[in-house]
């Protein structure tokens, strides 16, 4: 990449303060910026780096008022954090090329329907009556089962396994070794102490603009569908059990798990190593702190929960203060 400050401002809808001809060729964190790089400043605790940084261009908020001289050219935008994300998307899109490719060691069944300019890497398998949308990339060693539907502009990274009958929307990213559609953990106890497997006959539906991290598992439902609604982002090593439903634009950090038939609302934030029991409902706009254990439904929107069992944030802090005093 090579961009001038004026070009960047035009892309981001910002203004230039400094040299509009300043040119950069790569990105850098503000604490390690050097000539030829572009950085961004959004968190006030890093302000001192703005004055020390050697980068040629820094993206800053329009509201930022320097307390010292800034040697770099500043591109002022409404939201620096969102702007750098948009710029990274722009750069990635320019680099991305779409071309039809089918590895000679891949196997695509004759009844599968493959859209235009689809990439299918070596040792990938696409099953009977599967459907692959336009401009989708299926990398090496991917398994796409019979009857799977994958939308357009998706990226399926190496090692992903998509069981038969699963449905995936447009602009979905599945990172390496994610498993979509494995059986849920369902067993019925028998009188002799053994366990009888409960067959899972449903599927998984992943809507548009979802991203699922590496080694994450999304189990298919016993009946009906496990549903991941549009805009959801799941980190690496998450577990989504059978018949779970996750609302639009909810995010979940690594090593978190949701047990069967739980329903998580829209715009929720679930931190790392959170556990959510089955058959409960989490209201919209709920935030759950790291390592919390949610054992009951959350009915009120906008709550922040912490601890195990999870309780409202302020209650947790008061309780923690008591715990600290009790230990002395």
Active site residue 242: yes
Q: Could you say which of 48, 200, 242, 313 is catalytic?
A: 242
Q: Residue 281 belongs to what H/E stretch?
A: strand 281-282
CA dist., res. 279 & res. 289, Å (int): 20
Give how far Cα 190 sits from Cα of 22, 186, 196, 223, 260, Å: 73, 13, 7, 22, 21
The string of DSSP codes covering 164-208 is: TT-EE-SS-EE-TT-EEEEPP--EEE-TTS-EEEPP---EEEE-T
CA dist., res. 102 & res. 278, Å (int): 42
Four-CA torsion 233, 98, 89, 140, nearest 10 degrees:
40
Q: Please list the residues that pair with 161 across neighbouring strands.
A: 143, 179
Integer-rounded Cα radius of gyration of the chain = 24
Three-class SS state of 118: coil
CA dist., res. 21 & res. 30, Å (int): 20
Active site residues: 242
């Amino acid at each position: 990449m090579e961009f001038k400050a004026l070009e960047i401002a035009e892309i981001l809808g910002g203004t230039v303060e400094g040299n509009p001809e300043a040119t950069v060729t790569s990105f850098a964190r503000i604490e390690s910026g050097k000539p030829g790089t572009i950085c961004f400043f959004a968190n006030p605790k890093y302000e001192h780096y703005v004055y020390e940084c050697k980068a040629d261009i820094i993206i800053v908020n329009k509201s930022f008022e320097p307390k010292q001289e800034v040697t770099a050219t500043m591109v002022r935008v409404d939201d620096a954090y969102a702007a750098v994300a948009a710029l990274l998307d722009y750069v990635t899109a320019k680099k991305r090329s779409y071309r039809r490719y089918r590895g000679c060691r891949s196997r695509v069944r004759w009844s599968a329907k493959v859209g235009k300019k689809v990439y299918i890497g070596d040792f990938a398998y696409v099953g009977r009556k599967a459907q692959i949308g336009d401009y989708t990339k299926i990398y090496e060693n991917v398994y796409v089962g019979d009857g799977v539907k994958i939308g357009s502009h998706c990226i399926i990274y190496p090692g992903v396994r998509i069981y038969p009958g699963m449905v995936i929307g447009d602009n979905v990213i599945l990172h390496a070794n994610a498993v979509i559609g494995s059986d849920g953990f369902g067993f019925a106890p028998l009188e002799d102490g053994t366990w009888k497997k409960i067959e899972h006959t449903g599927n998984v539906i992943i809507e548009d603009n979802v991203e699922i991290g590496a080694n994450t598992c999304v189990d298919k439902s016993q009946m009906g569908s496990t549903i991941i609604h549009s805009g959801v982002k799941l980190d690496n090593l998450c577990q989504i059990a059978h018949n779970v439903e996750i609302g639009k634009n909810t995010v979940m950090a690594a090593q978190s798990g949701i047990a069967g038939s739980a329903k998580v609302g829209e715009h929720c934030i679930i931190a790392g190593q959170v556990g959510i029991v089955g058959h409960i409902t989490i209201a919209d706009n709920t935030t759950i702190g790291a390592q919390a254990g949610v054992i009951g439904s959350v009915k009120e929107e906008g709550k922040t929960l912490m601890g195990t069992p999870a309780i409202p944030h302020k209650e947790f802090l008061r309780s923690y203060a008591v715990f600290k005093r009790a230990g002395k």
